[in-house]
Amino acid sequence: MILFFYNLALLAALVLGAPFWLWRMAATKKYREGIRERLGRVPKRLGSVRLRGASRPAIWLHAVSVGEVLAVSRFVSELERAFPAHRLLVSTTTRTGQALARQRFGAERVFYCPLDLPWAVRAYLDAIQPALLILAETEFWPNLLSGCFRRGIPAAVVNARISDRSWPRYRALSALWKPLLSRLSLVLAQSELDAERLKAIGCAPERVSVGGNLKFDVRAAEESEAVRLLRRQTAGLRLVVAGSTLGGEEAALLEAWPQLLAADPNLVLILAPRHPERFGAVAALLDASGRAWLRRSQWQQPIQPMIQPGQILLLDTIGELASVYSLASVAFIGGSLVPAGGHNPLEPAQFGVPVVMGPSYENFRAIVEDLRAHDAIRIAAGNDFADALMDLLRNPSAARALGERARQVFERQAGATARSVAAIRALLAESIPESLIPEEHA
C-alpha cells in the first residue's frame, strides 16, 4: 500500500514537474546525458546475463556520485578478486560519478542507474538478473528494493551512514521506511552511531553490524598526469591544495592568499572546485581577482607554461585531486567553511599531509572527530582558517607531525574492505550455488 502511494506521488511529481525538467534538459547537457538509460532503455553492452547464455551471474553495485565511487574503488577490486565467477556491474546517478566510474572500472560495465520508476527498474532487473544488489551508503529507492525483494534478490548496504542532516527526516518517516528496510539482507554501518540510527528507522537489528568506513581503505589511484607535471614544474615551491571547494570558499581563499604569500612567497595555490559545472564561475572569479593563474585543462603537452611562485592553478579536471594531494604542504578541505557538511579529509591524510577544515563537517563527523581526538587535523572558523593555514606553513616541523598523526589514524582504521567482502561472501553463500563461491583468497 505504501508503495502504491509512493508511485502515485512520483507520477504526480513527474507530470507537474515535466515542463521544468524538459526546460533543464534543453538548456543543460548534464540533464540530457543518460536520460534514455534512466528511463529504462538498457544499454546493449549490459544485456541479459543469463538470457544471452553467459555463465556468470551478476552483482549490481550502485554508487551515487564521485564520493561514493571513490569510496568503493578498492571494494570493487577486492570483490572482483574474491568472486571471479561473477560479473560486477556498477551504476551511478550523477554525470561526474559516471565519468569517474567509467575511468576506474571500465565503460563496458558502468551505466546510469534507472530512475525509481516501476517500468525502468523492471527493465534493468529483467536484463541484468542480479544475484545480489549492493548499495553504497544510503541509496534507498523503494521500487528498486521492492523489485529485488519480489524476485528473491538479496539487497545489501555497505558503508551505510545516516548524516546529522538526514537523520531528522529519516526518523520522522521511519514508519514508511520500515517495511522496506526490514527486508534488507545485510547492512554494514560506518560507525556505531550509524548502526543505531539504521536500526531506529527500520533495519532488522540482527542484520546490522559495524563494518567501518571504506574511505579509510581507499588509496589514491595511480599517479595522475597532473602530479607528474606539477612535480617537474614546481621544484622548490610549496603547494596549498584546496579540494572540493564550494561557492564562497574560493573567494575566501583568494582573500587570504596575500597573507599566505607573506608567510611563504614560494607558494602555489591549487583550487579544485567540487562541481565541474562551477569551473567556469571559478575561472571568472580568478580573472576578476587580477591574480596570475592557469587552467589544468589547458596545461597540456607539448605546451606547458611554467608555474611561478604566487600563481594559482585551477584543477578543472575529474579524478586527479586525490593524487594531487600527495604533493601538498598543507590541504584545505572544502564544503566546510560554508554550511554544506564538509568533504573527505582522508584523501590528504593518507599521504601525511596536514589538513585544515572549517566548522561544517557533519557529513564526515566520525572521521573528523577521530582525527581531532588524535590532534591530527585543524578546525578553524571564519577568518581563522587563514591563520591556521599560515601557522602550518610557518612551522614545517609541527605541520609534518600533524600530518603524520593523520596518516597513522588513516592506517589504524583500515580493514573495512576486508570485513565488507567477508560479509558479502557469507551472504552470497546463503543464496546461490556453493560452486560459484570460490575459496577465500589468502
Q: Which residues contact 295 (CB under 8 A, 6 or more apart)?
A: 283, 313, 314, 316
Distance CA 42, CA 114 (A): 9
Shortest CA distance to 88 belongs to which of 66, 67, 112, 61? 61
Active site residue 347: no
**Alpha carbons 352 and 396: distance in angstroms, whole number:** 13
Contact by Cβ (8 Å): 121, 3: no
With H, G, I as helix, E, B as strand and everything else as coil, classify residue 29.
helix
Helix H, strand E, coil C: the string for 352-376 is CCCEEECCCCHHHHHHHHHHHHCCC
Find the catalytic residue in 37, 68, 78, 139.
68
CA-to-CA dists, residue 323 to 221, 222, 223, 349, angstroms: 7, 8, 6, 12
Question: What's the rounded Cα separation, in Å, for the pair 74 and 380?
Answer: 32
Distances (CA, A) of 360 to 70, 215, 224, 242, 364: 21, 19, 29, 16, 9
Beta bridge partners of 356: 332, 378
Active site residues: 68
